[in-house]
Structure 1
Amino acid sequence: MFVTLLKFAQNRAAAPAFMAAHNDWIAQGFADAAFLCVGALAPNAGGAILAAGESRAAHDARIAADPFVAEGIVTAETYEIDPKRTVPALDFLKLPA
């Protein structure tokens, strides 16, 4: 499982020009069953993605393809998590022992 923080960067002012493409990219992540949750970092600091089901290399490639990342609107920082305890609804995130 991955948590990726997308923090606004130097080219933040260009965000409106790439918002439609960024939203299409997010929609594709959900369509591919790679994204579990996407949301804003408060207050107005960027975004966060909870993802699972891909290798680290595939996840990193997906993040690099985000128009916001490619255009320097955000910087991406990814953390890999090996879930040990979850509520029952999230048991699917646990890796086999």
Structure 2
Amino acid sequence: MHIVLLKFAEQKDQAPSHMDGHNAWLKKGFDDGVFLLAGSLQPRRGGAIVVNGATLEELQARVAQDPFVVAKVVDAEILEISASRADDRLKFLLG
């Protein structure tokens, strides 16, 4: 499992012009069953995505295609989690 941090970067003022592409990229990640949760980092620091079902290499390739990353609206950081405990509702993440 991974967490992707998308922190605003040098071109953050360009976010509105890339929002449609970024939202389409997010939709594809959810449609593919790879993204589990996405949302904003507060206060207005960027975004984060919880990811399951992708190798690090697959995720790196996917993140590199985010229009926000391509346009340097955000800098991406991928954190890997070796989950060992979970609430019963999230036990599927331990497999």
Q: What root-mean-square deviation, in Å, do the aligned CA atoms of Structure 1 and Structure 2 show?
A: 0.6
Alpha-carbon distance in structure 1 between the residues aligned to 2:83 and 2:60: 19
Structure 1 ranges of 4+ moved more than 3 A: none
How many residue pairs match? The answer is: 95
Alpha-carbon distance in structure 1 between the residues aligned to 2:84 and 2:42: 27
Partner of 2:84: 84
**TM-score, normalised with respect to structure 2:** 0.98
Secondary structure of the residue aligned to 2:39 is: strand
Ranges in structure 2 where 5+ consecutive residues have no aligned partner: none
Alpha-carbon distance in structure 2 between the residues aligned to 1:18 and 1:45: 16
Alpha-carbon distance in structure 2 between the residues aligned to 1:38 and 1:20: 16
1:48 pairs with 2:48: yes
Identity of aligned residues (%): 43
Q: Deviations over 1:28-56 (max 9, x none)?
A: 00000000000000000000000000111
Alpha-carbon distance in structure 1 between the residues aligned to 2:37 and 2:46: 14
Alpha-carbon distance in structure 1 between the residues aligned to 2:80 and 2:57: 12
Alpha-carbon distance in structure 2 between the residues aligned to 1:59 and 1:93: 17
